[in-house]
Amino acid sequence: MPISHPELTQFLSHVHPYDSLSVAALEELSTSLDQRILPAGETVYNLGDTLDGIYLIHEGAVDVFDENGTQLSALGPKNSFGERGLMKGDVAVTSATVRQDARLLIIPPAPFRRLISANPQVRRFFDRTRPVAAPKKNDLPTTRVETLMAANPYACTPDTPIRDAAVMMRDKRVSCLCVATGDTLQGILTVRDLANRSVAEGHPTDAPVSQIMTADPITLPPSAIGSDVLHAMMERHIGHLPIVEAGKLVGIVTQTDLTRFQADSSAQLVGDVASAKNPQELAKITARIPQLLVQLVAAGNRHEVVTRLITDIADVVTRRLLTLAEAEFGPPPVPYLWLACGSQGRQEQTGVSDQDNCLILHDDLAERDRPYFEMLAKYVSDGLHICGYVYCPGDMMATAQRWCQPLAVWREYFQGWIANPDTEAQMLASVMFDLRPIGGDVSLFDQLQDDTLQRAAKNSIFVAHMVANSLKHQPPLGLLRGFATVRSGEHKNTIDMKHNGVVPIVDLGRVYALQGQLRSVNTRARLQEAEAGKVISPSGARDLLDAYDLIAQSRLDHQAAQIKSGDAPDNFMPPNDLSDFERSHLRDAFVVVKTMQSAAASGRGLIT
């Protein structure tokens, strides 16, 4: 059944930029609209088609693709599409397909042109709307591993004779074999293994490949991105990387697979870091990170891609420092795990980052072993400081004895914070729930994380305290559609894009992760998993993701502009530097965050 004109007028009055129109203009616009109902899977238009007008989604969802079939947008209610083609002669420059049964409102070309001619605010909106840049071909940062990997890789079993494996590699013309039992990866056998281990060490050719294979090799999931592969290869000096999903071998990526892709310059930094001989050399390499950030932003990469690549470098720097420390002090007396929290833990580092880290030690630790880990922690922390990851002002570092403890003590920490969520416990839990392993024995963390999430989710009082703690940072909303800026000091009249911008969303994401027992620590991943796990409503998740993307991208753009101007990047953005369009949308994003905070406080934002 078609929507009535009064209902259309009401709907348009809540959609930007039509909300700027007078009542008379809205009523006139509603009478000119065509309506179309399309089922999921239906094509709205193809590249090169003559457009019926601009499309506005009333209900449902639509995906927009470029000329190469690369998805540009995933749109929902109140989103418009087709304007790029209409502004260029009524011919579609993209294609659009219905993802979820949709009702579309169509503004025909003639009424649309009259609309933008008579209303500067509407014209400004469409003039300033920039198309989302499609990922460039051969761009590793935006290429998923599943598109790079060779599926169904050649494999043999652990008891396969070395001779048979060599014959298979020769006949198949491959440089490696995966060693697996069924679908479960056990190891990898490469041409280098045949030369360095079989021939050089004199293993009989009828011996099983298990004697010369590389057992438990590093793996990645298909959802990883191409730069993950390149970084891992350059850091570990390997040329083959198996791809595993849900414990099953599904593919492999080799250096040959990457040759057709042009790696981002972040890969060069990773390679240089992996070969650095001391902290001073590392510092010279990390000094290039600000320029890398500028290049990544200028290339049109989304904020989550840029921060992921920047964080990857910090991870490799940390692991290199751990390797150098062990070379200087000898092998560790017991297994350990170095973890990062804060922005590095969440893989969200920008151009401004201090260090937040800790050490989990094996429970076999003896008192005589402590000096070793004190030296190791100081070496790594000092090295990170030299490299620009300055000491944490709150001493949240492995150099503090409190944060360099055996696993049993860490269990007591989390149990105590959950059982007695006072102010300090809330603050510490907020930091430590963002832990991510960086280097060492990962098994020291896996069970700890699972147990802690289960215990936390079951304690409604703790979750309530964490919700309250997440509301301490408020979006910078002022009266009369303005912004609440910093009132005094060096950064007077600016918006704190960290503490009042991204942190409120980071805090909400952490609460959702606790509620849903989600293992992800990355904020965007937490929001997506919270929607998938029905922790929050689909509409709330989509709105919050959109708000987060705009706020985080604005913060990153601000830092890139500062670096280009020769200034040190910071998180304080003057709102006067923004256009009216940017101010309007940024404020709308802050309103979404405030709304979701209110929903969380009242319990309406959580689906329990």
Same-domain status, 478 and 577 = yes
Average pLDDT, the chain: 87
Which of 291-300, 304-313, 367-376, 566-575 is predicted with the least confidence, judged by mean pLDDT? Answer: 291-300
Same-domain status, 482 and 444 = no
Position of tokens 């399309």? 38
SS3 for 149?
A: coil
Asked, for residue 134, whether it belongs to a domain, the answer is: no
572 vs 5: CA distance, rounded Å:
45
Helix H or strand E segment including 530: helix 523-532
Residues 63-92: pLDDT tens digits?
877 666 655 566 778 888 887 767 666 788
* Strongest mean pLDDT among 72-76, 200-204, 446-450, 569-573: 569-573
Same-domain status, 297 and 427 = yes
Q: Which of 402, 599, 434, 440 is nearest to 510 (CA)?
A: 434
From 106, 128, 150, the end of a domain falls on 128
Asked, for residue 569, whether it belongs to a domain, the answer is: yes
Same-domain status, 411 and 299 = yes
11 vs 6: CA distance, rounded Å:
9
463 vs 460: CA distance, rounded Å:
5
- Under 8 Å between Cβ of 37 and 2: no
Q: Nearest 5°: CA angle at 102, between 69 and 97?
A: 10
Q: Look at residue 261 and tell me whether its pLDDT is greater than 60.
A: no
Residues 183-193: pLDDT tens digits?
999 999 999 99
Strands, E assignment, 6-94: 34-38, 43-45, 54-65, 71-75, 80-81
Q: Which domain holds residue 394?
A: 277-449
CATH code for the domain in which residue 295 is found: 3.30.460.10
Q: How many domains does the chain have?
A: 4
Same-domain status, 371 and 285 = yes
**Which long-range contacts does 130-134 make (Cβ < 8 Å, 24+ apart)?**
131/72, 131/84, 132/72, 132/73, 133/300, 134/66, 134/68, 134/70, 134/72
Asked, for residue 225, whether it belongs to a domain, the answer is: yes
Question: What is the structure's pLDDT at 136?
Answer: 46
Question: What is the structure's pLDDT at 480?
Answer: 55
Position of tokens 């071998």? 249
Residue 388 Ramachandran class (φ > 0 left, ψ -120 to 50 alpha, else beta): left
C-alpha 488, offset from chain centre:
34
Q: What does the block give as tokens for 433?
A: 């729930």
Running DSSP on this structure, what letter comes out for residue 156? Answer: E
Question: What is the structure's pLDDT at 479?
Answer: 61
Residues 322-332: pLDDT tens digits?
999 999 999 99
Same-domain status, 444 and 553 = no
Question: What is the structure's pLDDT at 25?
Answer: 85
* CA distances to 175, 335, 445 from 358, in Å: 40, 14, 12
Residues 44-56: pLDDT tens digits?
999 888 888 989 9
Q: To the nearest whole percent, how much of the chain has pLDDT over 90? A: 52
SS3 for 121?
A: helix
Between 489 and 118, the more confident residue is: 489
Same-domain status, 315 and 445 = yes
Asked, for residue 469, whether it belongs to a domain, the answer is: yes
Asked, for residue 269, whether it belongs to a domain, the answer is: no
For residues 549-572, give the mean pLDDT.
Answer: 92
Between 94 and 551, the more confident residue is: 551
Same-domain status, 390 and 429 = yes
Asked, for residue 592, whether it belongs to a domain, the answer is: yes
pTM across the whole model: 0.65
Q: Look at residue 156 and tell me whether its pLDDT is greater than 90.
A: yes
Asked, for residue 266, whether it belongs to a domain, the answer is: no
Same-domain status, 404 and 297 = yes
93 vs 73: CA distance, rounded Å:
14
366 vs 406: CA distance, rounded Å:
10
CATH code for the domain in which residue 214 is found: 3.10.580.10
Residues 346-392: pLDDT tens digits?
999 998 889 999 999 999 999 999 999 999 999 999 999 999 999 99
The residues near 59 (Cβ < 8 Å, ≥ 6 apart) are 77, 101, 102, 103
- Cis peptide bond N-terminal to 6, omega within 30: no
Asked, for residue 102, whether it belongs to a domain, the answer is: yes
Q: What does the block give as tokens for 466?
A: 């964490």
From 258, 291, 320, the end of a domain falls on 258
For residues 191-211, give the mean pLDDT.
Answer: 92
Question: What is the structure's pLDDT at 138?
Answer: 46
CATH code for the domain in which residue 114 is found: 2.60.120.10
Question: What is the structure's pLDDT at 87?
Answer: 64
Which of 47-51, 201-205, 258-262, 321-325 is predicted with the least confidence, judged by mean pLDDT? Answer: 258-262
Q: What share of the chain is helix, strand, coil (3-state, %, to 5)?
A: 50, 20, 30
The residues near 187 (Cβ < 8 Å, ≥ 6 apart) are 158, 178, 179, 209, 210, 213, 214, 215, 216, 217
Same-domain status, 328 and 213 = no
C-alpha 233, offset from chain centre:
21
Helix H or strand E segment including 210: none
Residue 133: band (very low, low, confident or very high) from pLDDT cuts 50, 70, 90: very low
Which of 98-102, 123-127, 262-266 is predicted with the least confidence, judged by mean pLDDT? Answer: 262-266
Same-domain status, 437 and 511 = no
From 229, 258, 287, the end of a domain falls on 258
Same-domain status, 303 and 427 = yes
For residues 415-421, give the mean pLDDT.
Answer: 91
27 vs 383: CA distance, rounded Å:
65
Q: Look at residue 608 and tell me whether its pLDDT is greater than 80.
A: no
Question: What is the structure's pLDDT at 127?
Answer: 58
Q: Look at residue 569 and tell me whether its pLDDT is greater than 90.
A: yes
For residues 580-604, give the mean pLDDT.
Answer: 86
Residue 341: band (very low, low, confident or very high) from pLDDT cuts 50, 70, 90: very high
Question: What is the structure's pLDDT at 139?
Answer: 61
433 vs 499: CA distance, rounded Å:
18
Question: What is the structure's pLDDT at 259?
Answer: 57
Q: To the nearest whole percent, how much of the chain has pLDDT over 70? A: 91
